[in-house]
């Protein structure tokens, strides 16, 4: 523990870094997620006062775990006769009881795989991961997803009830299920990051809280599953994308798109780490979707300017991605890249081929891309119509400002 | 251990058009499934066609109203069920995936519900 930290900072750091482990280890004693959460919250509250008196312990995570577990044992003894229908965490090794010597990495993995179980609705997986693995409060999660606290509380309660009643197991999946289930976990983290990277609505372009939680989770997964190339690919993708954070907002608060970004503002340390992870991720044959998406971000990151981007390489990577995992958004991005590789006519033709794709009909970036190519061809009125169409599809203020700015430029020219 | 109800929703039209051989193959598939899982199957049943169902509900005036047909009219009708006894949802899902009509009957689905 760093000595220059105040107690409050040390508790906040332990909250970020140790919550998942403390909760997972406590849940092994309580067999009940709600009770475990209660005890872990108590332990963090107690840390604030105790550490002020005794100093920050050498291993804050161990201190918090012991405190939370003792509290749990105390409560279980005291309330044994009052607590009815304890929602048991289904675990085939129930009879062996909590194992103290067990690998601490496994404890956190169990918790993550439980939160991201495919029997839970995707939004419940995201909410539970933030709640149980990251320790965010229901109010914080509700704010991040712009729903009321009571809606979010109901969603989390329902998901926890399903874990208990349907007996979703609290364990790492068997080898045969593992790769599917890891992909599910990675998808949840990716969704968290994307939600933070471009907030779907509201005043800010980004929700930095969600971004850092997603990066923390990806780092945790790399630590827990060091041999998995897709996990490395996900962390690479998040680092390379987030490296552009400082360049994404102009002085007026409007979103600055990739072509116009000041690349001097990109975070070079994050880019170096991301690029080295991409190399590791691409070792898998065939490469997974996160490795390929990270490779695309890496091509942008090593290009000195928008004009110098290796578009043929990017088109080729999108082909690999679409072969692995077809999606309308990937097809759109490929169309845009092919426009930069082969000229605006080619880009428009590629976009036209996607015109009947229902998922893209109200997707603002499809209209933005069309506007961009029309603008390059000097078809100003059509470009204007495309940007106006894009405006009707986004509620994000920073994006709206950026689109209005482009419309104003079209008017002047 | 915990009990789960596996509700088999399948496409009745398949059985109407399937030949005797195909139906027999499916019956045999269920027999194999039942043998392989005899230690965990508590009970099971094969339902007659949904056209033979009758729904009983109250008419709001203190009497009962009977209507012809199943409660939920869907393309996939409830065709049968198993009650199994396993430890976790993952085990129940693994058993459900072993049901014989997968790969045979299009758009078949199994609802896995924990029981009290």
Asked if A119 and B2 come within 8 Å (Cβ–Cβ), the reply is no
Of the partner residues B88, B112, B114, the one whose CB lies closest to the CB of residue A169:
B88
pLDDT at A144: 82
| Cα A113 from Cα A90, distance rounded (Å) | 13
Taking CA A302 as the corner, what is the angle to CA A298 and CA A307, rounded to the nearest 5 degrees? Answer: 110
Token code pair at residue A213 = 């939680």
Collapsing DSSP to helix, strand or coil, B7 comes out as strand
DSSP, residue by residue, A113-134: HHHT-TTS-HHHHHHHIIIIIS
- The overall longest dimension of chain B from CA atoms, in Å, is 50
pLDDT digits (tens, 9 = 90+) for A373-396: 999 999 999 999 999 999 998 888
- Range of B80's domain? 2-115
Query: What would you report as the CA-atom Rg of chain B, rounded to the nearest whole angstrom?
Result: 16
CB atoms within 10 A of CB B45: 10
- pLDDT above 60 for A38: yes
How high does pLDDT run on average in chain A? Answer: 88
- pLDDT above 50 for B26: yes
Question: How does residue A94 score in pLDDT terms, banded at 50, 70 and 90?
Answer: very low
Measured between CA atoms, how close is A145 to chain B, in angstroms? 29
Residue A101 lies in a domain: no
| Cα B27 from Cα B38, distance rounded (Å) | 16
Token code pair at residue A206 = 């980004």
Angle between helices A268-281 and A289-302 (to 10 degrees): 140
Sequence length of chain B is 116
- For residue B8, give the CATH number of its domain: 3.30.70.1060
Measured between CA atoms, how close is A165 to chain B, in angstroms? 7
Q: How much is the average pLDDT of A95-107? A: 57
The sign one gets for the Cα dihedral A326, A332, A337, A342 is: positive
pLDDT at A204: 67
Q: Does B89 touch chain A (CB under 8 A)?
A: yes
Residue A31 lies in a domain: yes
CA A37 to chain centre: 22
Residue A75 lies in a domain: yes
| Cα A256 from Cα A258, distance rounded (Å) | 7
Count of domains for chain B? 1
Q: Is the pTM of this model over 0.90?
A: no
Q: How much is the average pLDDT of A72-84? A: 72
- Predicted complex ipTM: 0.80
Counting beta carbons within 10 angstroms of the beta carbon of residue A160, is it exposed (0 to 12), middle (13 to 18) or buried (19 or more)?
A: buried
| Cα B28 from Cα B61, distance rounded (Å) | 48
pLDDT digits (tens, 9 = 90+) for A264-284: 999 999 999 999 999 999 999
pLDDT digits (tens, 9 = 90+) for A332-352: 999 999 999 999 999 999 999
Asked if B88 and A177 come within 8 Å (Cβ–Cβ), the reply is no
Q: Order the strands of the B76-86 sheet from edge to edge.
A: B41-46, B76-86, B2-11, B109-114
pLDDT at A267: 97
pLDDT at A82: 52
CA A309 to chain centre: 27
Asked if B90 and A177 come within 8 Å (Cβ–Cβ), the reply is yes
Task: Provide, rounded to the nearest whole percent, the portion of chain A with pLDDT above 90.
Answer: 60
Q: Does A176 touch chain B (CB under 8 A)?
A: no
Collapsing DSSP to helix, strand or coil, B4 comes out as strand
pLDDT at A342: 92
How high does pLDDT run on average in chain B? Answer: 88
Residues of A in contact with B93 (CB under 8 A): 119
- pLDDT above 90 for B51: no
pLDDT at A274: 98
Residue A42 lies in a domain: yes
Taking CA–CA distances from A113, the nearest residue in chain B reads B90
pLDDT at A288: 93
Count of domains for chain A? 1
- For residue A51, give the CATH number of its domain: 1.10.1740
pLDDT digits (tens, 9 = 90+) for A107-127: 888 899 999 999 999 999 999
- Range of A51's domain? 7-83
- pLDDT above 50 for B22: yes
pLDDT at A196: 85
DSSP, residue by residue, A199-226: -SEES-S--HHHHHHHHHHHHHHHHH-T
Token code pair at residue B30 = 């269920």
- pLDDT above 80 for B7: yes
CB hemisphere CA count around A17 (13 angstroms): 12
| Cα A406 from Cα B6, distance rounded (Å) | 57
pLDDT at A202: 62
Region of B62 please: left (phi>0), alpha (psi -120 to 50) or beta. left
């Amino acid at each position: 523990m760093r000595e220059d930290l105040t107690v409050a900072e040390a508790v906040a750091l332990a909250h970020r870094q140790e919550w998942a482990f403390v909760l997972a280890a406590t849940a092994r004693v309580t067999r009940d997620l709600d009770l475990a959460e209660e005890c872990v919250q108590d332990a963090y509250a107690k840390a604030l006062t105790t550490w002020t008196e005794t100093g920050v312990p050498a291993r804050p995570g161990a201190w918090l775990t012991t405190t939370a577990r003792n509290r749990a044992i105390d409560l279980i003894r005291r309330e044994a006769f009052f607590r009815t229908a304890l929602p048991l965490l289904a675990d085939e090794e129930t009879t062996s009881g909590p194992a103290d010597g067990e690998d601490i990495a496994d404890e956190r993995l169990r918790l993550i795989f439980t939160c991201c179980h495919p029997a839970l609705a995707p939004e419940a997986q995201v909410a539970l991961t933030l709640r149980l693995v990251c320790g965010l409060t229901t109010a914080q999660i509700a704010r991040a997803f712009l729903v009321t606290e009571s809606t979010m509380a109901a969603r989390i309660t329902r998901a926890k009830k399903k874990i208990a009643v349907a007996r979703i197991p609290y364990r790492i999946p068997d080898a045969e299920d593992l790769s599917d289930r890891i992909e599910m976990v990675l998808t949840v983290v990716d969704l968290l990051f994307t939600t933070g990277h471009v907030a779907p609505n509201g005043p800010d372009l980004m929700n930095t809280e969600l971004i850092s939680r997603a990066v923390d989770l990806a780092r945790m997964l790399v630590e827990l599953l060091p041999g998995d190339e897709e996990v490395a690919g996900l962390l690479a993708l998040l680092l390379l994308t987030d490296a552009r954070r400082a360049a994404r907002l102009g002085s007026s608060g409007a979103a600055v798109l990739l072509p116009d970004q000041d690349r001097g503002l990109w975070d070079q340390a994050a880019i170096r780490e991301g690029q080295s992870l991409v190399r590791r991720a691409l070792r898998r044959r065939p490469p997974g979707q996160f490795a390929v998406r990270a490779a695309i971000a890496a091509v942008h990151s090593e290009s000195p300017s928008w004009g110098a981007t290796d578009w043929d390489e990017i088109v080729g990577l999108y082909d690999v991605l679409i072969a692995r995992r077809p999606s309308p958004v990937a097809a759109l991005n490929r169309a845009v890249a092919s426009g930069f590789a082969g000229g605006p006519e080619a880009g428009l033709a590629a976009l036209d081929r996607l015109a009947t794709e229902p998922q893209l009909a109200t997707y603002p970036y499809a209209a933005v891309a069309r506007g961009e190519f029309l603008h390059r061809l000097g078809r100003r009125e059509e470009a204007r119509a495309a940007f106006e169409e894009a405006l009707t599809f986004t509620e994000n203020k920073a994006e709206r400002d950026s689109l209005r700015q482009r419309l104003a430029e079209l008017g002047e020219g | 251990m915990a009990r789960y109800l596996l509700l088999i929703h399948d496409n009745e039209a398949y059985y109407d058009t399937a030949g005797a051989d195909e139906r027999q193959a499916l019956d045999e598939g269920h027999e194999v499934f039942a043998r392989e899982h005899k230690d965990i199957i508590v009970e099971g049943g094969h339902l007659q066609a949904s056209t033979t169902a009758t729904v009983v509900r109250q008419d709001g005036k203190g009497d009962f109203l009977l209507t012809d047909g199943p409660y939920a009219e869907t393309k996939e009708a409830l065709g049968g069920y198993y009650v199994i006894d396993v430890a976790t949802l993952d085990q129940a899902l693994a058993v459900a995936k072993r049901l014989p009509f997968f790969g045979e009957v299009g758009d078949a689905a199994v609802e896995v519900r924990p029981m009290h």
